[in-house]
Chains A and B, each alone.
Chain A
Amino acid sequence: MRKLTVLFTIPFLLSVSGCSLSDLVDTNGYQQGDNVKPELIESHEGAKMVYRGAVAKAMTYLSSQSNMVARFTDELSIRPTTDPIDQDVRMPATSVVNEFRVFWNAGYDEAHSARIQASQSIALLKKYAEGKENNILAHAYAIEAFMQIGMADNFCSGLPLSESQYGGVFVPGKGYPRDTFYTRAIQLFDEGIKLNVDSVPIRTLLLVGKARALSALGRYSEAADVVSSVADTDSAGYKYEFNPLQSVASQIQFWTAGYDSAAGYVKNQKGVNGLKWLADNPAEQDSRINVRTLPGMTGYVAFPAPLKISAGNGFLVQANGAEARLIEAEAHLNNNEPALWLEKINRVRRLYKNLSGIQLADTVDPGTPAGRVDLLFRERAFVMYLTGRRLGDLRRMIRQYDRHPESVFPTGRAEGSQILNYGSNYVFAIGDAEMSNNPSYSKCEDYLP
């Protein structure tokens, strides 16, 4: 019996001391994979790291959206391929779920990704750098707000907003009407504006962004008031500069997609009623498009390619004085102040000389309300060419100015195809990944503009 006692006592003692094994397995904060150590995140410097991540993700979104919007609308045409690149052509209007929509999911995912990262950076900056980093905190507010605007501009009404909390809490979100997104954006911009930042570009970003959301809600006069303090000068604007050596959005997507084969080119009047980007007389060409011609192989036609994004290390302007003036012009237009409206339009055209040295002639009042709307949105299109704004504007023309979709979106036989027509989708599709995996969400409320 004594032997048995001895034999089993030692194992028992070892077993009850099992708790000490925890000390053996403690990795002492050793980094796991490419993860940042948690204690680094939960600090002033960590909050700034997360903020930088939000900026990086916002740039990824902008890089992607500028390319996608251009293709979906009339800004660019793409070399016909079997790739589902020209969604406007290939996606049947009746199809809610089809295999091509995955192509557009990237923008959706990127917008949410930047939104969540900006939200987390705001929380960290407020906790660990309160009052010390107002410029970047305001910028984080602006990023989260712009993601809300981007989703409302480009997608259907009723997008879901899920919440992810570091540490394991995930709350699947329900769908919200489009206007809710604009409203939330305004609230976020206001939070940033309250910080009274000393960075002029960030203040411009906040003010123009808020005005953009107000305009989308039809609150034109309020929008004009918000941007009244924004200067004309480009230096007052906020632009995201891309660098091929940067990590996340390595290059502007349009450039990477087609730089070596002229895959994307300026398509004059895409479909039946696309905008006439190119003048019949090259000398009269609107230099804001900055077209260059890429020769094809010997004996074949040349491509009018946009010079605006001629390399991956270009920049995308998110907000500047020109847009502020156009927002004011739209307010004048809706206040039935055509003279003031025209003055703002021509101010923007003259402003372009300051920016590029190219003098654009003043334009004249078309004389009709419809003509003024056309002219306003044409000016917006040229000013904001390849910045991912065109889809939102076309939808606003339908929603706020009673235009028929087929009068603003490309229609008719698709270029390069003898059998395919441009489709009638006015919004980017939401991927199956959302509808299949979000138990709180089933579908868009409204696919109309």
Chain B
Amino acid sequence: MSRRSLLGLAALGLAACKKGSSPPTPRVDPDATALAAARDGELTLIRSCEAVGFTADQNIHTAHFKALGGVFPSAPVMPKLLQTDEIQSAVRGSVASLRGAAVAAIDGDHAARFASIAASHEVMAGE
């Protein structure tokens, strides 16, 4: 059997599969869980910084949130607000998980963003 006829058979096989197959499922981002967790953390920091008037930090966390693909919800979502001293420890505490997400990210662009946000949080925690 020639290579061309084999290709023809393969095409027929694919067509047969298509007839009975279910509609294609949307591609799932393998980093979706880590991205969502990081966005949740940033949203909490944004709202907490806003509540205590840390405008500069709020702006940085907003940039992080957007870099993670975050879009502010149209309906008000109020995460649990952190107290002033809790903000600093939350930022410090997030460094390890963000770095872990960076190392484990399947998508390189996500990895770089996680690593950069971890770096930013590390600097902020040390200030």
Q: Do A and B come from one complex?
A: no
Interface positions of A (Cβ within 8 A of B): none
